[in-house]
Structure 1
Amino acid sequence: MRPEAGLAGMNDWYDELTVQIIERVCSPTANTVDIGAGGGDILAHLLRAAPRGRHFAVEPLPELADRLDREFPGVTVVRAAASDRTGRDGFVHVLSNPGYSGLRRRPYDRENETLEDIVVDTVRLDEVVPADVRVDLIKIDVEGGEVVALRGAAELLRRCRPVVVFEHGGDRTMREYGTTSADLWALLVTELDYGLHTLPGWLERSPALDAGDFAAALREQWYFVADQRGQAW
């Protein structure tokens, strides 16, 4: 049941549902990618569920990438932001709330956040994960940059058909990236033939959302699952 405890309660609920999805998808030898790994909270669950798998953590903030290196020595830590091109780009470090950091500014829930503009490396996931590694699950939390991150992973998605758990706050959070929810739908559903679900809907094995259902869900939810059409876990 969806909690009624505000933003913090919803985020905790999404984390709990994400862990349930990880446990359903990942065998002990599953390979995973955590894009926007932060402090490693979800990464720890990926390693617990798949202790013999290969894991990649993509994290551009230097202090957080250092922490991941220390605490998860078996993980390939990629010190960059996931994008649709490899190079360098500006990055907004939200010092007062690092979880809101991203390649572009986004609307923030609190006034007067403390921001620092830095420059980071950017990578395409297609160039990070070796072609002989089959990825089973990808988690994406990039504060509005999910379309550019997914564009940079399109070949991996075609090759491996992983389950993708991703945050998506709609057009408002993506404005500075020049992308929209329609772009997300076009990439995942139309081009790559994925189905989109809410997290509880996926766990309940409900049918994939149609375009109208997705638009309605965006009014109150901001985490979704993409999976190959007809996939069953």
Structure 2
Amino acid sequence: MRNVSLDVKRKTYDALQAIGDPKRVNEFYAELIGRTVSSHVAGGDIVVDAGAFHGRQTLALAAAVGPGGRVFAFEPLQPAFVVLSTQLRRHGFEDAVQAHQLAVSDHEGDMPFHHIHQAPGRSGRIWEGSPTERAGGFTATELRVPVARLDTVVGGSGPVRLMHLDLEGGELAALRGAVGLLARDRPLLLFRNSRGVAASMFGYDAGAFCGFFDAAGYELFNVLGFRFQQRDWTTGRQPGWYLGVPAEDEVAKGTLHGMIDDVAAQHGLAAIFA
């Protein structure tokens, strides 16, 4: 993986921006995420998908682990959970996936959850509408949903290989509820996070965010393979997807580095790392 200067990182982010084709860049990021899973997960593995929504990533994970593996999928919003369950039946993954209509966080019980009617995929524990959403008249209904810690629900399983989190800013809270799993199994973490926006909503700062991973013995990288540290917190134009890799896992770092370079070459983007 790449531990380079901020200047080199900024030049890479600017090079992607200069392409001027958001669809092409988004497809590049999407393949990086998909290849991260396929390069790290094998048949028989146990994985977690928190924030499963309609199950796009859940289905990909279920296919990757095969009939001998298991996916723990979490989706608290009832309409989305119905779609998720239907998708699992349609694709024959009912036995491979344990679907839970739960939110995941650092405590047990229940909590507020906002259903965004015009964009249900943006629903989450806390919602602060963006200017575009406010201008579009987006509306939200506040519900209460059951919540659990990943240590409680998944902790009794075999070793977890990967955790995929897309929780509209609630990723750090979910990981705080999985410290036992992180210490025991050392899974690869693949998660989305909006940095300052998420921190302001959930009451933490850059120091608390980076300090959590340091304390857990994890190194953070974004999906371009650049090391992410506190000094990167306010750097613009970087991708919103991150990899948490156990600090001792040099094999994973090398494998992921090669995979990222391969995907960049296939998309004609190798020059962004020059």
For normalisation by structure 1, the TM-score amounts to 0.88
Q: 1:98 to 1:172 in 2, by over 3 A?
A: same
Q: Contact 1:170 / 1:218 at 8 angstroms: preserved in 2?
A: no
* Aligned residue number for residue 233 of structure 2: 215
In the alignment, which residue of structure 1 is the partner of 2:133? 110
The reply to whether residue 66 of structure 1 matches residue 82 of structure 2 is yes
Q: In 2 relative to 1, CA 48–149 (structure 1 residues): closer, same or farther, beyond 3 Å?
A: same
Shift of 1:154: 0.9
Distance 1:185 1:120 in 2: 29
Q: Hey, which of these two has a bigger chunk of helix by percent?
A: 2
Between the aligned partners of 1:28 and 1:88, the Cα distance in structure 2 is 34
Q: Does 1:198 align with 2:222?
A: yes
Q: May I ask how many residue pairs the two structures share in their alignment?
A: 225
Which amino acid is the alignment partner of residue 71 of structure 1? Q
Partner residue in 2 for 1:40: 55
1:106–1:144 Cα contact (<8 Å) kept: no
Shift of 1:186: 1.0
- Aligned position for 1:17: 32
2:218 aligned partner, one-letter code: Y
CA contact (8 A) 2:206 2:230 kept: no
Does 1:84 pair with 2:106? yes
Instruction: Name stretches of at least 5 consecutive residues in structure 1 with no aligned partner.
Output: none
Match of 1:164 in 2: 189
Q: Where does the alignment leave 5 or more consecutive residues of structure 2 unmatched?
A: 1-14, 89-93, 253-274
Deviation at 1:222?
Answer: 1.0
Q: Secondary structure at the match of 2:224?
A: helix
Is the 1:61–1:79 contact (alpha carbons within 8 Å) kept by the matching residues of 2?
yes
- For residues 38-89 of structure 1, the C-alpha deviation after alignment (integer angstroms, 9 at most, x for no partner) is 1111111111111121110010011111222232212111111111101011
Cα deviation digits, residues 75-121 of structure 1 (max 9, x gap): 11111111110101110111111121111113434332221111101
Q: Relative to structure 1, is the Cα distance of residues 211 and 179 closer, same or farther in structure 2, using a 3 angstrom cutoff?
A: closer
Higher RCO structure, 1 or 2 (CA under 8 Å, sep 6+): 2
Local SS of the residue matching 1:175: helix
> Is 1:151 matched with 2:176?
yes
Aligned letter for 1:87? G
SS at match of 1:121: strand
Contact 2:207–2:230 (CA<8 Å) still a contact in 1? no
Q: Residue 65 of structure 2 corresponds to which residue in structure 1?
A: 50
After TM superposition, give the deviation of residue 11 of structure 1 in Å. Answer: 4.8
- SS at 2:233 equivalent: helix
Distance verdict in 2 for CA 1:9–1:38, change over 3 Å: farther
